[in-house]
């Protein structure tokens, strides 16, 4: 499909792309570059690519597809390092969880003649690094493309085919809309998970060991999300600031109203909300976005999460 | 172990107890009572007990163990219905997610000579009703006993043995401490899950179908928790009000501080928190409270939750 794929950054997403490129023969040559020597060595040990480079420019030279797989806050600086080495006609993409900021950071560095098609595979786990990657990561998952002017339809189609070959379903939307959607389906959920885990750790009346011991009652689901990569997520919040603050404002407003319902014993308000939210879960399952098995099918020998 | 076990209420927890009583021969006779005829009929169809009663008093008469398995808000009224029929020396227990309120509701109705040992198995799924029960529900899960004065040690030991036979690990604590611990490990996590699902449903800028479609990026974990039984959870919040409001106040305070860090670009504060929370996840896994598999081991064909 491509002659030379350059992966700039080789964490969970980069390594999973590399495994797909190999498994589905999506590129004749996979060139890998990353900032840290130890990570690059590990990628080589794992046999993720065909060549390994400490200089990003060496990896992208001659590449017809370049995918940036770094924390979104580094997008601009890293692009500046390799932009001069890009070949005319190359497709430049990324995998960042924020699109507006990444586009603003990358675009000024890109020479004319390359096709910039930002992308975001909605996939990941709480693990990170080149060892965390696996081929099935993108299977049945959405990948959102947010092409920017001037749009080259052939380049968009080629990148779409690449992600489809990785098993993804591809959707196209504007960067602005992407950032709003992700703020509510991903960024704010992660933020409140991080927050409650922090709140629990800081209590004096309940010890941290009690919190851990009894975590299966609900809390442990939040700890999984709150174990996601700190650098990546710091950058997400700083770079999708407006949308996150907007959604967070609504969340807090709604929570204050729920708090008031509890304080004043308004059981009807609580019951109404809890019935509405149950219906949304059914929608998620009907849309094939989660398993209907109780407790995510975590299994019976495993501890199961809590009724109360 | 017991001559006659009376289960008052036969939802997820009641039916799971019934299945354990049968599998492990914990009672010679299991008497089941519940308010709704259709639920009682379903319990009989499933063969959960040995006798079925529309009157709670008929079920508890002659029982040496009575376990109340109803939403915590009904504890007092339901106890009043059967209290006069209790046999001297019977152990009366419950499975409520709140202990202070349940004790205050039940105790005034109990005749002298019965042993009241409140209990709370920390187990459940997002499903409810007599069909949702399964034998392994309590296996490797905590069951907290909160004995009240006058404490009969023999009765406590017998109830402990009952729960251990169901596969649980048993812990004893005061009702007050139980309610604080559960507020942070369970009640507030459920409340914020309900809340964010409600917030997402009410947006104008992002449609509900988009929220559902892209939910695998983190949001869907919250929808599972927010699919828990509405009646049960309404009662939990109304009956553990003080502890929930206290923990919620801290959560909101911490969230406001996180919001401020995002607004002012304080990446260091975010990174520090996200690193601390990651360590707590490791503690949860080391304590055997969750699987270390990425994404709860939801499996690869299934959609996996999100990196951004």
Q: Which pLDDT score is estimated for B165?
A: 98
Cβ–Cβ contact B47 with A under 8 A: no
Q: To which H or E segment does residue A5 belong?
A: strand A2-8
Selected for mutation to probe chain B from A218, A228, A242, A260 (highest B CB count within 10 Å) is A218
Residue A262 scores a pLDDT above 90: yes
ipTM of this complex: 0.90
Query: Which of A229, A258, A277 shows the shortest C-beta gap to B226?
Result: A277
d(CA A127, CA B291): 13
pLDDT tens-digit readout, B228-246? 999 999 999 999 999 999 9
Find the mean pLDDT for residues A278-304: 76
| CA–CA distances in Å: residue B247 to residues A220, A280, B151, B182, B187 | 17, 26, 30, 10, 9
CATH, domain range A177-297: 1.10.3660.10
Q: Please list every residue in chain B whose beta carbon sits closer than 8 Å to the beta carbon of residue A124.
A: 304-308
Q: Which pLDDT score is estimated for B307?
A: 38
Q: Please list every residue in chain B whose beta carbon sits closer than 8 Å to the beta carbon of residue A237.
A: 262, 270
User: Mind telling me how many Å the CA of B130 is from chain A's nearest CA?
Assistant: 14
CA angle A280, A286, A288 (to 5 degrees): 110
Residue of chain A with shortest Cα separation from B260: A245
Does the beta-carbon distance from A192 to B190 stay under 8 Å?
no
Residue B304 scores a pLDDT above 70: no
Give the residue range(s) of CATH 3.40.50.720 domains in chain B.
2-173
User: Mind telling me how many Å the CA of A286 is from chain B's nearest CA?
Assistant: 9
Q: Please list every residue in chain B whose beta carbon sits closer than 8 Å to the beta carbon of residue A205.
A: 180
Residue of chain A with shortest Cα separation from B178: A206
Give the residue range(s) of CATH 1.10.3660.10 domains in chain A.
177-297
Q: Which pLDDT score is estimated for A304?
A: 39
Q: Which pLDDT score is estimated for A288?
A: 87
| CA–CA distances in Å: residue A10 to residues A35, A170, A268, B278 | 9, 22, 51, 21
Nearest to A291 by CA among B115, B277, B303: B303
User: Starting at the edge strand that comes first in sequence, how are the strands of the sheet with A142-145 ordered?
Assistant: A119-121, A142-145, A169-172
Identify whether the C-beta of residue A142 lies closer than 8 Å to the C-beta of residue A168: yes
d(CA B257, CA B251): 10
- DSSP for A238-294 reads HHSHHHHHHHHHHHHHHHHHHHHHHHTT-HHHHHHHHHHHHHHHHHHHHTTSS--SG
Q: Which pLDDT score is estimated for B299?
A: 52
B302 pLDDT band, cuts 50/70/90, is very low
Cβ of A160: how many Cβ atoms within 10 Å? 18
Average pLDDT in chain B: 94
Is the bond into A150 cis (omega within 30 degrees of 0)?
yes
d(CA B195, CA A250): 10
Residue of chain A with shortest Cα separation from B257: A195
- DSSP for B272-308 reads HHHHHHHHHHHHHHHTTSS--SGGGG--SSS------
d(CA B19, CA B182): 26
Token pair in block for residue B70 = 């109803």
What contacts B268, CB < 8 A, 6 or more positions away? none
Find the mean pLDDT for residues A277-291: 90
Cβ–Cβ contact A212 with B under 8 A: yes
Find the mean pLDDT for residues A110-115: 96
A299 pLDDT band, cuts 50/70/90, is low
User: In the block, which residue shows the tokens 């559902």?
Assistant: B212
Q: Which pLDDT score is estimated for A295?
A: 80
Burial level of B286, CB count in 10 A (0-12/13-18/19+)? Answer: exposed
Helix/strand/coil for B69:
coil
- DSSP for B213-266 reads HTGGGTHHHHHHHTTS-HHHHHHHHHHSHHHHHHHHHHHHHHHHHHHHHHHTT-
Cβ–Cβ contact A178 with B under 8 A: no
Identify whether the C-beta of residue A98 lies closer than 8 Å to the C-beta of residue A179: yes
Q: Which pLDDT score is estimated for B296?
A: 79
Average pLDDT in chain A: 94
Q: What separation, in Å, do the N-terminal and C-terminal C-alpha atoms of chain B show?
A: 52
Listed by number, the residues of chain B in 181-200 with a beta carbon closer than 8 Å to a beta carbon of chain A are 181-182, 184-200
Q: Cα-atom radius of gyration of chain A, to the nearest Å?
A: 21
pLDDT tens-digit readout, B260-289? 999 999 999 999 999 999 999 999 999 888
Fold exhibited by the domain B2-173:
Rossmann fold (3.40.50)
d(CA B43, CA A131): 49
Does the beta-carbon distance from A245 to B263 stay under 8 Å?
yes
Does residue A129 come out as left (phi exceeding 0), alpha (psi in the -120 to 50 range) or beta?
Answer: left
Q: Which pLDDT score is estimated for B301?
A: 39
d(CA B188, CA A263): 14
Cβ–Cβ contact A99 with B under 8 A: no
Residue B308 scores a pLDDT above 90: no
Q: To which H or E segment does residue B164 belong?
A: helix B153-165
Nearest to A37 by CA among A49, A51, A54: A54
Q: Which pLDDT score is estimated for B293?
A: 85
User: Mind telling me how many Å the CA of A255 is from chain B's nearest CA?
Assistant: 6
A292 pLDDT band, cuts 50/70/90, is confident
Residue A301 scores a pLDDT above 60: no
Query: Which of A288, A301, A306 shows the shortest C-beta gap to B122?
Result: A306
Q: Please list every residue in chain A whose beta carbon sits closer than 8 Å to the beta carbon of residue B73.
A: 267
Residue A63 scores a pLDDT above 90: yes
A230 pLDDT band, cuts 50/70/90, is very high
Cβ–Cβ contact A174 with B under 8 A: no
């Amino acid at each position: 499909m491509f002659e030379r794929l350059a992966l700039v950054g080789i964490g969970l997403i980069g390594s999973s792309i590399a495994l797909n490129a190999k498994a589905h023969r999506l590129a004749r040559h996979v060139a890998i570059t990353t900032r840290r020597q130890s990570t690059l060595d590990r990628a080589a040990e794992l046999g993720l690519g065909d060549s390994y480079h400490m200089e990003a420019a060496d990896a992208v030279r001659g590449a017809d597809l370049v995918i940036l797989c770094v924390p979104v806050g580094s997008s601009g600086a890293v692009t500046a390092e390799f932009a001069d080495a890009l070949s005319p006609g190359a497709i430049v993409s990324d995998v960042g969880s924020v699109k507006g900021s990444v586009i603003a950071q990358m675009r000024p560095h890109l020479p004319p003649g390359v096709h910039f098609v930002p992308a975001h595979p909605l996939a990941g786990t709480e693990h990170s690094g080149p060892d965390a990657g696996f081929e099935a990561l993108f299977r049945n998952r959405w990948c959102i493309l947010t092409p920017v002017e001037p749009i080259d339809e052939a380049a968009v189609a080629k990148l779409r085919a690449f992600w489809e070959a990785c098993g993804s379903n591809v959707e196209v939307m504007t960067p602005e809309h992407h950032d709003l959607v992700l703020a509510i389906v991903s960024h704010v959920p992660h933020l409140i998970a991080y927050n409650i885990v922090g709140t629990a750790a800081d209590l004096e009346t309940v010890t941290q060991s009690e919190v851990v011991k009894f975590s299966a009652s609900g809390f442990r689901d939040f700890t999984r999300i709150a174990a996601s990569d700190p650098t990546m997520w710091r950058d997400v919040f700083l770079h999708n600031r407006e949308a996150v603050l907007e959604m967070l404002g609504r969340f807090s407003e709604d929570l204050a109203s729920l708090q008031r319902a509890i304080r004043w014993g308004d059981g009807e308000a609580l019951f109404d909300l809890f019935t509405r939210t149950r219906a949304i879960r059914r929608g998620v399952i009907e849309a094939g976005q989660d398993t209907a098995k109780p407790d995510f099918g975590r299994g019976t020998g495993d501890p199961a999460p809590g009724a109360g």
